[in-house]
Structure 1
Amino acid sequence: MAALFGARVRKLRTAAGLTQAELGDRTHVVSTRITQIERASGAKPTLELARALDAALGADDLLVELWPYVYREAFPDWSRRFMAHSERAVAVREYAAHVVPGLLQTRDYARAVLSVGRTLGSNEQLEERVALRMGRQERLGTPDRPELWVVLDEAVLRRPVGGRPVMREQLARLLTAATEPHIAVQVLPFDQGEHDVMGGSLTVLTMPDGSETAYTEGAHYGQLVEDPDEVRSFALTYDRLRAAALPPLMSLDMIRSVMEDNHRGANVPSRSERRRLAQEQLQQSGRRQLRGGGRRIPGRGRRPGP
């Protein structure tokens, strides 16, 4: 797909009578970058560059529409099939056991999650995957955006993926997203106990024709389920999870509470620092009593009665 994208750019550039340097000037990149794209070498183009090339070459969105297929090559086969279905879905119902779903991830959170995959080959591939994940989120702001209903296991909120600052930003993103009329977020608390999808995530997609597809995923595998009977079973499982989860408003309160605890936790001194501060406070307290100016401490300094 990268080779096809490059061939289209070269053909459009030649038809427009532009050199690689001239096209680079119009898209604000060096000419060697255009060479890499046309030869399908080096890093794949970003979505922003694909748009710039499309506009400069008058491609009528051809390059923009081709771009997602270029980036799918950075993902395993089972993940690509799921992305192809989700791009057409009119409703997405998702349960996440371990991490925030990709459609609601911040860039830094996504980078932290994607950096630990077994299928990752290089830093360039990591940035390609991050760019694609951010690009997929753009559909949530379009007129044909899907209805999105997300149930998060409490573990998702409490695991500081990427560190506390990254996690705090991610929790804030969830709170913001949940204010959108087409997005609902619920939390499944620990005290609900065991359930059928504890080992991974579950997504149920509703397609434009009303049919449904299910997708289950673990840390290093995924399975797209299209058999109607199996999909109905997964849909029922999802509905049970949604019923067991906290209502949306209570869920947002829980997310906000965890975010605030996360912030306070980032400022907790170390054990040795806490011990030093406690000693200083005891010393200061003793000095204040000595300088008390005759102030009597209740229960002390009195002579016993006759």
Structure 2
Amino acid sequence: MTHINVLDPGASPLDYYGFELRRLREGAGLTQRQLGDILNYTGSLVGQVETARKVPTPEFSERLDAALGTGGLFSRLVELVLRSQLPSWFQQVAELQTRAAEIYSFEMGMVPGLLQTRAYARAVLGAIDQADLEDRTAVRLARQRIFEKEAPPLFWGVLSEAALHQEIGGPVVMREQLAHLLAFQETPRINIQVLPFTSGGHAGMTGSFDIYRFVGDPAIVYTESYGSAHPTANPDTVKDCSLRYDHLQAAALSLKDSADLIRRVTEARYGDQLA
């Protein structure tokens, strides 16, 4: 007889998700393979999620809700699961991003996580550590679902021109990533400015940072170092970083000129002609 792993639903959001999936699948009289066929996934994947060995994706969860008629249960649960899979030091930051009404981000050397493509995120996360890379990539991309909310945050990003030239993942990955940035021109709540090399010394030379603003709560500044997050609501820090951000925006190219620079860098470095 095959041993069935018995999960403790209180152990973690991932265990609870797997426990509920098995309970409802069996209640519907379906085998893992039969449910997999309905979902257009393998029965093996269903089994891995049921035993908390695989992190479910939002798409998998949406298909589960449709197949089992669960009224959005798994789509709600997957948000908790994915957040629980983030490094412990970053979980508070992910919560801040979810709650923020406005996000202002300055990045020195790469595209911020909220704007990354799957291939780019995979290359960033796998630069040193390949373990559980697909799951970690899915968890990072899931943070971008904040832009799908009924009232998504206003996002304003200032990227150093260096982020366009740092070839992460190779030319194909970079070409796709820069095209992705250009696609946001049609999204008024996501705005991207590039700080060109010609700007010389600037207000962000001490490093990348984010500012999160909320409705009814104090703003928070976020910086990070290796393996640790540093959010603070200290009024002096918020005032200083807000002033720095104002100067960065003033020194950066306009939205249109930024898009033109992204397009030129793509053509020159990654061999693509973008319309």
Identify the residue that residue 68 of structure 1 maps to in structure 2.
79
Within-5 A mapping of 1:291-302: none
Of residues 142, 160, 170, the one that matches 1:163 is: 170
TM-score normalized by the length of structure 1:
0.76
Match of 1:12 in 2: 24
Classify 1:7/1:130 alpha carbon distance in 2 versus 1 (closer, same or farther; 3 Å). Answer: same
Q: Secondary structure at the match of 1:165?
A: helix
Three-state SS of the structure 1 residue aligned to 2:215 is coil
The CA deviation at 1:141 is 4.0
Do the aligned residues in 1 keep the contact of 2:85 with 2:139 (CA within 8 Å)?
Answer: no
Q: Which residue does 2:200 correspond to in 1?
A: 193
- TM-score under structure 2 normalisation? 0.84
Displacement after TM superposition at 1:156 (Å): 0.6
Match 1:132 to one of 126, 139, 144: 139
Q: Indicate conservation of the 8 Å contact 2:203/2:245, yes or no.
A: no
1:26-74 deviations in Å (ceiling 9; x for gaps)? 3233333333222212x22222211112222222222112213322344
- Relative to 1, partners in 2 of residues 1:21 and 1:162: Cα closer, same or farther, differing over 3 Å? closer
What is the aligned partner in structure 1 of residue 100 from structure 2? 89
**What's the % identity of the aligned pairs?**
40
Q: Specify which of 65, 77, 80 is matched with residue 91 of structure 2.
A: 80
Deviation readout 1:112-142 (Å, 9 max, x if unpaired): 111125xx461xx211122223333243244
| Shift of residue 210, structure 1, vs aligned partner | 4.9
CA–CA distance in 2 between the matches of 1:63 and 1:255? Answer: 39
Q: Supply the RMSD in Å over aligned alpha carbons.
A: 2.3
Computing the radius of gyration over CA atoms, which structure comes out larger, 1 or 2? 1
Whether the 8 Å CA contact 1:202–1:215 is kept in 2: the answer is yes
Q: Deviations over 1:200-240 (max 9, x none)?
A: 32111122335322211345443222334432332222222
Name stretches of at least 5 consecutive residues in structure 2 with no aligned partner.
1-12
1:68 and 1:132 in contact (8 A); partners too? no
- In the other structure, the counterpart of 2:48 is 36
Assess if the C-alpha contact under 8 Å between 1:204 and 1:214 holds in 2. yes
User: Structure 1: which 4+ aligned runs deviate by more than 6 Å?
Assistant: none
Q: Structure 1: how far apart are the matches of 2:246 and 2:152? A: 22
How many residues are paired up? 260
Q: Measure, in 2, the Cα distance between the counterparts of 1:81 and 1:237.
A: 24
Q: How does 1:1-306 map to 2 (within 5 A)?
A: 1-41=13-53, 43-117=54-128, 120=129, 122=131, 125-218=132-225, 220-264=227-271
C-alpha distance in 1, partners of 2:160/2:78? Answer: 33
Is the alpha carbon distance of 1:38 and 1:148 closer, same or farther for their aligned partners in structure 2, counting shifts above 3 Å? same
Structure 1's 229 and 16: CA in aligned 2 closer, same or farther, altered over 3 A? farther
In structure 1, list runs of 5 or more residues that go unmatched: 266-306
